[in-house]
Structure 1
Amino acid sequence: MSKKIREKKSTLFSLLFIAAVILLTLWSLSRAEDPDKLIKDIQNASPVFLVLAVLCVLAFICLQGVVIWLQCRSLKLQESLWRCVLVAFHGYFYCSITPMQSGGPPIQIYDLKKEGIHISVGTLIILMETFLFKVVLVILSLGMLLFGHRLMRRYIWPGLFFFILGTILTCGIVVLIYLSMFHSGLLRRLILWLFRKLEKHHLVRSKKGRVEKLISAMDKYRAAAGYFRNQRKLAVLLLAVTMLQRLAYFSTTYFIYRSFGLYGVSYWTIVLLQAAISICADMLPIPGGVGITEALFQVFFRDIFGTMTIPGLCLSRGITFYAQLLFCGIFSIAARVAFRVDKSRLGFFQTSFIVPEDAP
């Protein structure tokens, strides 16, 4: 079976799984709420605030494109902001349909490779973006654990197990990514050892020059990692943009709250509760966190939305997941058309031993 066929089957399975869970979720919601009342409540929501919520989701995706673009610009790669935004949309589509959001980074690395960026450097760019993405969650989760005792006791306590589990898993991922980025000598030895073991047991075919190519790729990765390690101002800027990106996503729930004419709960309370849901659900092996996210929303926001909890849940997930999936799917088609290797766009790295990969 070819690689493309396997990828298509995997994508189809993920989409079918999501569709099944969506139907199950809708069935459970229809039992919890009168369908006619639910539709009426959603129709009465303020369209102005709903548009703001949709814009927050689009800003969330576009800001990831900004993070990728800033890294490319720092490395003197003449990659346009628009194409980096396409990379972000393409990645989020696969993040939405794969467990633990694992499908996004590989497809983004592949997109950058098609743009002529060496796969080792592209890997580091996407790892940096993923690293910062998780670091923001760690900062928020530890902040809530240390300083948000009132918030934890009043709203999050029933889902505390998932919150603690999500925090531990996210911290673990942050440590692993940090080691792979900035202790690449250890990573290189581990990969070479694993590769030779696979060859020894005939799990991969031994091919002349393959190890040398692997070492060369790791050297490029190590050089790029060394470059990023010394760019502290860039790291601070990227962290700030990533924090803004996350806040844009979490703000969608606040605008949905206001769309029902509700007030009295602060912006930061709602944002932090939505962040808590992401902390709980992001690292679970469920595509898009479907199911667990809906359950946690009802638990965390029950006292805030009151009788509007189910309509709020439908709009929140409808905008932050299903509408996002639709937007990303549309832009993913554009990405497939747009990403073709064009050497005229390639810039130069600041270090001469990191060179763009030759176009096939």
Structure 2
Amino acid sequence: MENKKKLLLQVLFLLVVFAGTIYGIFHGEDLGKILHIISTVNPLYLLPAVACVVFFIWGESIIIFYMMHTLNIHLRKWTCFLFSSIGFFFSCITPSASGGQPAQIYYMKKEEIPIPVSTLVLMVVTITYKAVLVIIGLAILIFGNGFIKQYLTGILPVFHLGILLNVLCVIAMFVLVFHTTLAKDILTRGLWLLEKLHLMKKKESRHQRLDAAMTEYQDTAVYLKDHKQVIINVLAITFAQRFALFLSTYFVYRAFGLKEYSVAVIVLLQAVISISVDMLPLPGGMGISETLFLTIFVPVFGAKLLLPGMILSRGLSYYTELILSAALTVLANFTIGGKNKICKKKNKF
């Protein structure tokens, strides 16, 4: 019952943010004119844009499939695709994408995958997912001075904040994974302080969960040390996965008959938006993502096509991802945890 109430509140929060975003974007705009412009785009360019979004979701499923295989757990690729979709759906509707992994662990448990195994796999997925953003962000800061001056002057504080938060997140994860004694000491002292200040009730079960979590982080550290090539491969897949989603905006750009700006510029601008909003406590970066798009893509789309371009870009990336992953999550409720659970031998897709 408590989980259902929490999910209901998350959905309500999503709807409130969505309504606020729609109002902020379209207030005072001529909707008929915008829809007319959108109706004139070349639909052939929208097909690869949708394919990029599907590849983005599919990419994580391949990582899950691949890592489970290294742990001698053989799943069908379709099942992994459902796991991936579940993660993206709950990430889309929860602040800071906090609900994705708990939901994936729940459904993996229904397939009789041990929680320590699913936690380890998803921890590696998270580390590489964040690491890719950090690498791209730092590369832009170090080597993209001209790019920053030309396109990002209006959003530099948000961009710098996004990089800082992602860097801190990755550092925190590596501390938890490779320095579990230090991490446990910090968390224990923090827990003690919160209890001392009467901000949390003292519960022995909470300390037991902390010990269990530290054990999981130790398992992750062992895996990372023993499977370096696996991590390199996962990082490469994650790069492809991330850039596929960024690439969808380029196809939207071409759908309007535009071709002045290169694919590299558009992909990097979209990457900047992801870096800036990834750690913010908004479902899918809703609201701030649209605002950043309307700020940095002005020279690319021009004043006339900027808002229609944003609608198509966000519609194909975030909202297609949300709708598709929602549909597959519903399907997962009827198929995951059935008769054919973990396979002893590798199944064909």
TM-score of the aligned structures, taking structure 2 as reference length: 0.89
Residue 139 of structure 1 is matched in structure 2 by: 135
Q: Residue 311 of structure 1 corresponds to which residue in structure 2? A: 308
Asked if residue 332 in structure 1 is aligned to residue 329 in structure 2, the reply is yes
Task: Decide whether the 8 Å contact of 1:120 with 1:217 is kept in 2.
Answer: no
2:26 paired residue number: 27
Which of 128, 142, 153 is equivalent to 1:157?
Answer: 153
The alpha-carbon deviation at position 220 of structure 1 amounts to 5.6
- 1:183 Cα offset (Å): 2.6
Question: What pairs with 1:288-299 in structure 2 (closer than 5 Å)?
Answer: 288-299=284-295
Secondary structure class of the residue paired with 1:257: helix
C-alpha deviation, 1:299, in angstroms:
1.0
Question: In structure 2, how many angstroms separate the alpha carbons of the residues matched to 1:225 and 1:346?
Answer: 27
Query: Which residue number in structure 2 is paired with residue 243 of structure 1?
Result: 239
Give the Cα separation in 2 of the matches to 1:234 and 1:310. 42
Aligned-pair identity in percent equals 35
Superimposed CA distance per residue, residues 135-191 of structure 1 (whole angstroms, 9 cap, x where no aligned partner)? 111111111111111110011111001000000000001111112223334445566
State the AA in 2 paired with 1:19.
F
Unpaired runs of at least 5, structure 2:
none
Contact 1:137 1:279 (C-alpha < 8 Å) held by counterparts: yes
1:261 aligns to 2:257 (yes or no) = yes
SS in 2 for 1:126: helix
Structure 2 partner of 1:203: 201
Query: Are 1:105 and 2:104 matched, yes or no?
Result: no
Please say if residues 120 and 218 of structure 1, whose CA atoms lie closer than 8 Å, have aligned partners that are also in contact: no
Return the match for 2:225 from 225, 229, 237. Answer: 229
Cα distance in 1 between the residues matched to 2:34 and 2:159: 29
The answer (yes or no) to whether the contact 2:113–2:342 under 8 Å persists in 1 is no
Q: Aligned pair count?
A: 341
What's the offset of the Cα at 1:199? 9.4
CA contact (8 A) 2:59 2:237 kept: yes
| 1:206 Cα deviation after fit | 4.9
Q: Is the 8 A contact 1:250 1:271 kept in 2?
A: yes
Matched, 1:273 2:269: yes
1:120 equivalent in alignment to 2:116: yes
- The answer for the alignment partner of 2:318 in structure 1 is 321
| Structure 1 unmatched ranges of 5 or more | 349-360
The one-letter code matched in structure 2 to 1:236 is I
Within 2, Cα distance between the matches of 1:288 and 1:223? 30
Does 2:38 match 1:39?
A: no
TM-score normalised to structure 1 length: 0.86
Distance 1:185 1:205 in 2: 21
Letter in 2 for 1:203: K
8 Å Cα contact 1:182/1:229 also seen in 2? no
Given that residues 90 and 99 in structure 2 are in contact (C-alpha distance below 8 angstroms), is that contact kept between their aligned partners in structure 1? yes
Query: Is 1:49 aligned to residue 48 of structure 2?
Result: no
Distance 1:175 1:118, change over 3 A: same
Distance 2:32 2:43 in 1: 19
Which whole-Å CA distance do the structure 2 matches of 1:281 and 1:303 have between them? 21
Letter in 2 for 1:323: T
Task: Report the Cα distance in structure 2 between the residues aligned to 1:204 and 1:345, rounded to whole angstroms.
Answer: 39
Flag the 1:186–1:116 CA change in 2: closer, same or farther, 3 A: farther
Q: Deviations over 1:86-127 (max 9, x none)?
A: 111111111111111111121112222222222222112111
Q: Do residues 6 (structure 1) and 5 (structure 2) align?
A: yes
